[in-house]
Chain A
Amino acid sequence: MTANLSRAPGAARVDHLVVAEMVAPGSRVLDVGCGDGELLRLLELRGVDGRGIELSREGVNASVAKGLAVIQGDADTDLADYPNDAFDYVILSQTLQATRKPREVIEHMLRIGRHAVVSFPNFGHWKIRVKLLLEGQMPRTKNLPDTWYDTPNIHFCTIKDFRQTCSLVGAKMEKAVALNAWGQQLRLPAPWWFWNLFGEQAVFLLSRRPSSGSATRI
């Protein structure tokens, strides 16, 4: 759902690498909104047994032609058909903000998988705040180039919003990573408000066990 995410030429996307780092090798993974299957392929190279769902027909057919186990489907409606505990990890990479019912999607992810990995653009990033504040228009950035009327992204959230939603659905935050505008991890042990201001992307590893504990930031 976002374009121009940072990468070295010919290399995997940084946010994909961050997601892949959170997934244990040899596990079973469902990638919801898998696009053209790039992340799935990266995971399969690491010995993961991967499946994907993708809304766009082009993405599905490209993925299947790559030999990936991807089906055409909608995160909002089709996750209900999956049995409990079918996967070790359910991944939602750059898709959360395009779902109609993000909270239900997260709940389904934690039902289908023991863990959920969610990556999303942080709408609390300072550049977005500044654009809205100074220009008075819906912010458009390098990674979020769509205009308000043609964007597929209908449910933006900030890192702070996402943390609140996690506690609302009883998800435990196992790990969290924020990436800056250059796709580099924010490695400083900083408070959440700092991440919410300077993280352009966020990747969370969640687990089902209800807990009020705080995430390990890496």
Chain B
Amino acid sequence: MAEVRLKPDLRDRLSEAENPHSQIARFGPDQPLKLDAGVELAPFQIAYQTYGTLNSARSNAVLICHALTGDQHAANVHPVTGKPGWWETMVGPGKPIDTDRYFVISPNVVGACMGTTGPASINNRSGRPYGLEFPVVTIRDMVRAQAMLLDHLGIETLFAVAGGSMGAMQVLQWAVTYPERVFAALPIAGATRHSAQNIAFHEVGRQAVMADPEWRGGRYLAEGTNPRRGLAVARMAAHITYLSDAALHRKFGRRFQDRAMPTFSFDADFEVESYLRHQGSSFVERFDANSYLYLTRAMDYFDLAADFDGVLAEAFRGTKTRFCVVSFTSDWLFPTPESRAIVHALNASSARVSFAEIVTDKGHDAFLLDEPELFAIVRGFLGSAGAARGLAG
């Protein structure tokens, strides 16, 4: 990327976007990413982590697709927060996605802010961060970019693609766009299209960001401001949708935060308020506000059946991919009927599909948490798919 003079604070904030603590695949002007919006993104880069070893047959690669606010740091300490990777319960030596057996590739999606090109990246034409000059990207654009990464790595077919939420959308898009490159697909807590309710929630989040005067029409990085409050509110509202009534009640109830009595003010009297404020404020330390706009938009636009005259089964026609679809009982953001719609379409295409609904009160975020039943299912699914693929046990 071009050398540009930036204020020290800005340079600091852009460090992961420009020079991530990850491997980088760079694609020059001769290798543009063709976007659904009808424009080309070039040059661009993909930041990614890998775990495990690629076998000599190059047949054991597993692609991990992250969710809206996730990133490539699935199974290593996060370079910004210092916390464990977001899927360390699932990915690692001896874990369900076993890095002793599989070569795991975890890229940051296009439009995000942890090293893959997105609105916080420097636009070579202007020397400034893209901001809203960044083209709107879709889930399919993310998947196309990942396919280019695989080409770059010399991996023709994936043993498996796995992910939850927005990651599940990418998994499904992979299976539809590149069916011959996906042996097994594991969409967890996903859907084939974003519901009106979910678009509505996303719009609330975006409006919160854009209502913050520091957003500056998306030019906050160049102008040295930061729409922290707007992004924090967006995160707080969204975080509620990732949990469930039961989980919130179990964790917080109506308990007061460090006080015995209400203060008769608008302080965070309740534990749940304090928790949400913390979620909001810690999120803005690691996430770019414009990326939040772009990635929520990508999810809104996702509708797998749209290219097939609304007939979802056509999207999967003739697929040889094995699927394992998983949902959670208390997930009201991507409820079980959404997963069941995937399963019905796959059945109508005579695809090999497993489907399990897991009982939990942890809501949508259950795919990130310690759910032994989920682990057993992922292990069993990948194990049998591995046997069918001829991977050593």
| A61-B377, A83-B350 known; A71+B358 contact, CB < 8 A | no
Indicate if B54 sits at the interface (CB-CB under 8 A): no
> Is B380 engaged at the interface, CB distance under 8 Å to the other chain?
yes
B168 CB, nearest partner CB in chain A, Å:
16
Known A71-B343, A71-B347: A65·B357 in contact at CB below 8 Å: no
Query: A65 is contacted by which of B343, B376, B385 (Cβ under 8 Å)?
Result: B376
Q: Is the CB of A81 closer than 8 A to any CB of chain B?
A: yes
- Tell me whether A64 and B359 are in contact (CB under 8 A): no
Whether a CB of chain A sits under 8 angstroms from the CB of B222 is: no
Interface presence of B379 (CB below 8 A): yes
Cα distance, A73 to B356, chains bound together (Å): 10
Q: Is the CB of A67 within 8 A of B381?
A: yes
Q: Flag A180-209 by CB within 8 Å of B: 1 or 0 each.
A: 000000000000000000000000000000
* Chain B residues within an 8 Å CB radius of A70: 354-355
A69 within 8 A of B: yes
Interface residues of B in 362-385 (CB under 8 A from A): 373, 376-377, 379-381, 383-385
Instruction: Known contacts A57-B359, A69-B322; decide if A64 and B354 are in contact (CB<8 Å).
Output: yes
Q: Is B352 in contact with A67, judged by CB distance below 8 angstroms?
A: no
User: How many angstroms between the C-alpha atoms of A81 and B344 in the bound complex?
Assistant: 7
Determine whether the beta carbon of B355 is less than 8 Å from that of A71.
Answer: yes
Q: Is the CB of A61 within 8 A of B358?
A: yes
- For window 167-201 of chain B, which residues contact chain A by CB distance below 8 Å? none
Give the distance in Å from the alpha carbon of A69 to the alpha carbon of B354 in the complex. 4
Q: Mark A49-71, 1 if CB is under 8 A from B, else 0.
A: 10100000100110111111111
Which residues of A lie under 8 Å from residue B380 when comparing CB positions? 64-67
Find chain B residues with CB under 8 A from A28 CB. 350
Asked whether B348 lies within 8 Å of A64 as measured between CB atoms, the reply is no
State A71–B346 Cα separation when bound (angstroms). Answer: 11
B387 at the interface (CB under 8 A from A): yes
**Cross-chain contact B350 with A57 (CB below 8 angstroms):** no
Contact assessment for A51 and B352 in the assembled complex, using a CB-CB cutoff below 8 Å? yes
Q: Assuming the A-B contacts A69-B322, A81-B344, A86-B350, are A57 and B384 also in contact, with contact meaning beta carbons closer than 8 angstroms in the complex?
A: no
**B381: chain A residues within 8 A (beta carbon):** 64, 67
What does DSSP make chain A's interface, helix, strand, loop or mixed?
mixed
Assess whether B373 is in contact with A61, with CB atoms less than 8 Å apart. yes
- A65–B377 Cα distance when bound, in Å, is 4
Number of A positions contacting B (CB below 8 A): 21
Q: How far is the CB of A15 from chain B (nearest CB, A)?
A: 25
In this assembly, does B233 line the interface, its C-beta being within 8 Å of a C-beta of chain A? no
Decide if A82 touches B354 in the complex (CB within 8 Å).
no
Contact of A72 among B322, B352, B356, B373 (CB under 8 A): B356
Contact call A65/B379, Cβ cutoff below 8 A: yes
In the complex, what distance in Å separates the CA atom of A64 from the CA atom of B352? 12
Q: Is B353 an interface residue (CB 8 A)?
A: yes
- Residues of chain B within 8 A of A69, CB atoms compared: 322, 352-354
List the B residue with the shortest CB-CB distance to A57: B357
Is B299 an interface residue when CB atoms closer than 8 A count as contact? no
Asked whether, in the complex, the Cβ of B377 is within 8 Å of the Cβ of A64, the reply is: yes
- Is B112 at the interface (CB under 8 A from chain A)? no
Q: Which residues of B contact A68 (CB under 8 A)?
A: 354, 384
Asked if B104 CB lies within 8 Å of chain A CBs, one says no
Interface residues in B323-339 by Cβ distance below 8 A to A read 324-325
Closest CB in chain B relative to A88 CB, distance in Å: 12
Determine how close the nearest CB of chain A comes to the CB of B142; give it in whole angstroms: 27
CB-nearest residue of chain A to B379: A65
Give CA–CA (A66, B358) in the complex, Å. Answer: 16
Q: Which residues of A contact B353 (CB under 8 A)?
A: 51, 69, 71
Contact B347 A67, beta carbon cutoff 8 Å: no
Alpha-carbon distance A44/B348, docked complex (angstroms): 22
Q: Is the CB of A72 within 8 A of B376?
A: no
Which of B356, B357, B384 is close to A67, meaning CB atoms less than 8 Å apart?
B384
* A79: min CB distance to chain B, Å: 10
Contacts of B376 in A (CB 8 A): 61, 65
Residue in A57, A61, A82 with the greatest tally of chain B CB atoms within 10 Å: A61
- With the chains together, A82 CA to B380 CA distance in Å? 25
Which residue of chain B has the shortest Cβ distance to A52 in the bound complex? B354
Interface bits A25-64 vs B (CB < 8 Å: 1, else 0): 0001000000000000000000001010000010011011
**Complex: how many Å from CA A96 to CA B355?**
23
Q: Which residues of A contact B352 (CB under 8 A)?
A: 49, 51, 69
Give the 9 A-B CB pairs with smallest separation, nearest first. Answer: A67-B384, A71-B355, A65-B380, A65-B376, A64-B354, A67-B380, A69-B352, A64-B356, A64-B377
Binding site for A on B (CB under 8 A): 322, 324-325, 343-344, 347-348, 350, 352-359, 373, 376-377, 379-381, 383-385, 387
Q: List 7 additional A-B contacts (Cβ < 8 Å) besides A61-B377, A67-B384.
A: A49-B352, A64-B380, A67-B383, A68-B354, A69-B354, A73-B355, A86-B347
22 contacts between A and B (CB under 8 A): A60-B356, A61-B356, A61-B358, A61-B377, A63-B354, A64-B354, A64-B381, A65-B373, A65-B376, A65-B377, A66-B384, A67-B380, A67-B381, A67-B385, A68-B354, A69-B353, A70-B354, A72-B355, A81-B347, A83-B348, A86-B347, A86-B350
